[in-house]
């Protein structure tokens, strides 16, 4: 069973990730992981923290000589900003009062987290609830992708909307979507890219923030990942669950879910065909590659909606948890827009789920055992 855990605070010593159930003998390229960590830190609208951190993975266990051992993989990502925060974040002794936070931000975990865990200092909440945690999930996803690519499974993403700037037509050509890598807002359409940048500039000038929508496409997924036999084994349920676990994600749809809800069934369901070369296939993909909780062999398409970031440089009204007096919310260093970065995180989270389900279907302790099982299914 492929399991993952993450730990660490935003301004603590660093972040820790652990993977259990990863097969042996898989070659892992650390440079590719660091490249993906760098992709997460890019994007027009990011804040000053990205100028400080240059995330690099430091493996602690589970890999020897560039290959996985089958034992738990653990790694560390150092927070360079910790040197500026050690007095306030040291695990043994801290100056709690100097940077104590008592004004919760509307839309953040601040207030509910402080009430749930009985904290008088909201910093204990915001340090862990911060999206800084997603660096570990990007690293885990990058490791997962290196195994997935052996089986011709590929993941790409692009931003389809920031604020009111939105693509008018869906893009399904994977090669076009790949152009988003060269865009500061991860948009494959140059005209819309300019409109998105303008929206971010306006929000920054207003001391505000912006959300948006990004889309993930996964190709090469074999038929039959997931299952219909129990609700919690459905592939779309697992993808949605994991993607909603990304900070600030408030909506996930598979394929053209919301659009399909407004159409007749004859215009929604993908007709089935068969020929000796392709086998069973569909000429449309309104379902987004998943039917009945299982992958159907078509490209998996997922769309995620991200809300605007709760930290505003013109803060909203709140209540001080110590005095109960009306106040303005705390201002922590933040981004104006992090949708492009969230797109990269979404990629990595989605491919992690796909690999988990792939290993459930083609389970093996070593890469060689998995390849043998996979090839036997290809010949059916």
Q: Using one digit for the tens of pLDDT, what is the confidence trace for 282-305?
A: 999 999 999 999 999 999 999 999
For residue 50, the model assigns a pLDDT of: 59
Q: Are 321 and 114 in contact (CB under 8 A)?
A: yes
Angle at which helix 134-148 crosses helix 339-361, to 10 degrees, equals 50
CATH of the domain at 328: 3.60.150.10
Average pLDDT over residues 304-312: 94
Tell how strand 73-78 and strand 212-219 pair up: unpaired
Q: What is the pLDDT of residues 3-41, one digit of tens each?
A: 999 999 999 999 999 999 999 999 999 999 999 999 999
Q: What is the pLDDT of residues 147-189, one digit of tens each?
A: 999 999 999 999 999 999 999 998 989 999 999 999 999 999 9
What is the CB neighbour count within 10 angstroms for residue 15?
24
Question: CA–CA separation, 302 vs 168, rounded Å?
Answer: 17
In three-state form (DSSP H/G/I as H, E/B as E, the rest C), the secondary structure along the chain is CCEEEEEECCCCCEEEEEEECCCEEEECCHHHHHHHHHHHHCCCCCCCHHHHCCCCEEEEECEECCEEECCCEEEEEECCCHHHHHHHHCCCCCCCCCCCCCCCCCCCCHHHHHHHHCCCCCHHHHHHHCHHHHHHHHHHHHHHHHHHHHHCCEEEEEEEEECCEECCCCCCCHHHHHHHHHCCCCCCCHHHHHHHHHHHHHHHHCCCCECEEEEEEEECCCCCCECCCCHHHCHHHHHHHHHHCCCCEEEEEECCHHHHCCCCHHHCCCCEEEECCCEEEECCCCCCCEECCEECCCCEEEEEEECCCCCCCCCCEEECCCCCCEEECCCCCCCCECHHHHHHHHHHHHHHHHHHHHHHHCCCCEHHHHHHHHHHHHCC
- Decide if pLDDT at 48 tops 80: no
Q: Are 304 and 321 in contact (CB under 8 A)?
A: no
The share of the chain scoring above pLDDT 90, in percent, equals 88
Q: If you average pLDDT over every residue of the chain, what do you get?
A: 94
- Decide if pLDDT at 86 tops 80: yes
Question: CA–CA separation, 56 vs 138, rounded Å?
Answer: 11
Question: Any bridge partners for residue 77, and if so which?
Answer: 15, 57
For residue 379, the model assigns a pLDDT of: 55
Comparing CA positions, the residue from 210, 221, 37 lying closest to residue 138 is 37
How many domains does the chain contain in total? 1
Query: How would residue 51 be classed by pLDDT, with cut points 50, 70 and 90?
Result: low
Question: CA–CA separation, 42 vs 51, rounded Å?
Answer: 10
- Decide if pLDDT at 191 tops 60: yes
Question: CA–CA separation, 252 vs 340, rounded Å?
Answer: 16
Average pLDDT over residues 212-219: 98
Q: Are 82 and 90 in contact (CB under 8 A)?
A: no
What is the CB neighbour count within 10 angstroms for residue 233?
15
For residue 244, the model assigns a pLDDT of: 98
Question: Any bridge partners for residue 281, and if so which?
Answer: 273
Q: What is the largest CA-CA distance in the chain?
A: 74
- 66: alpha, beta or left? (left if phi > 0; alpha if psi -120 to 50): left
Query: How would residue 49 be classed by pLDDT, with cut points 50, 70 and 90?
Result: low
pTM: 0.95
Query: What residues make up the domain containing 129?
Result: 3-378
In the sheet where 212-219 sits, what is the strand order?
A: 165-166, 154-162, 212-219, 300-306, 249-254
């Amino acid at each position: 069973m492929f399991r993952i855990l993450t730990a660490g605070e935003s301004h603590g010593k660093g972040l820790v990730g652990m993977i259990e159930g990863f097969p042996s003998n898989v070659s892992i390229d650390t440079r590719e992981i660091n490249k993906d960590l760098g992709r997460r830190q890019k994007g027009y609208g990011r804040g000053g923290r990205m100028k400080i951190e240059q995330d690099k993975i430091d493996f602690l266990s589970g890999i020897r000589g560039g290959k996985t051992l089958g034992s738990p993989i653990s790694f560390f990502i150092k927070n360079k900003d910790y040197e500026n925060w050690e007095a306030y974040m040291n695990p043994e002794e801290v100056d709690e009062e100097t940077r104590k936070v008592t004004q919760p931000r509307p839309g953040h975990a601040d207030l509910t987290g402080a009430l749930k865990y009985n904290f008088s200092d909201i910093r204990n909440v915001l340090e862990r609830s911060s999206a800084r945690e997603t660096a570990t999930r990007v690293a885990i996803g990058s490791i997962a992708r290196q195994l997935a690519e052996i089986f011709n499974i590929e993941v790409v993403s692009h931003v389809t909307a920031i604020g009111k700037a939105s693509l008018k037509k869906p893009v399904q050509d994977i090669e076009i979507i790949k152009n988003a890598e060269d865009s500061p807002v991860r948009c494959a359409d140059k005209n819309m890219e300019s409109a998105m940048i303008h929206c971010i500039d306006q929000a920054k000038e207003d001391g505000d923030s912006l959300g948006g929508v990004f889309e993930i496409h996964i190709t090469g997924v074999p038929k039959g990942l997931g299952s219909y036999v129990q609700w919690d084994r459905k592939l779309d349920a697992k993808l949605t669950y994991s993607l909603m676990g990304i900070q600030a994600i408030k909506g996930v749809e598979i394929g053209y879910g919301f659009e399909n809800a407004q159409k007749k069934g004859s215009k929604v369901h993908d007709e089935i065909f068969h020929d000796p070369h392709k086998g069973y296939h569909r000429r449309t993909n309104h379902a987004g590659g998943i039917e009945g909780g299982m992958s159907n062999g078509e490209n998996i398409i997922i769309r995620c909606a991200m809300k605007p970031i709760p930290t505003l440089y013109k803060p909203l009204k709140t209540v001080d948890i110590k005095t109960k007096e009306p106040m303005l919310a705390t201002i922590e260093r933040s981004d104006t827009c992090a949708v492009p970065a969230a797109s990269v995180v979404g990629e990595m989270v989605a491919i992690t789920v796909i690999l988990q389900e792939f290993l459930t279907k083609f389970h093996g302790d070593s890469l060689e055992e998995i390849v043998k099982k996979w090839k036997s299914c290809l010949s059916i």
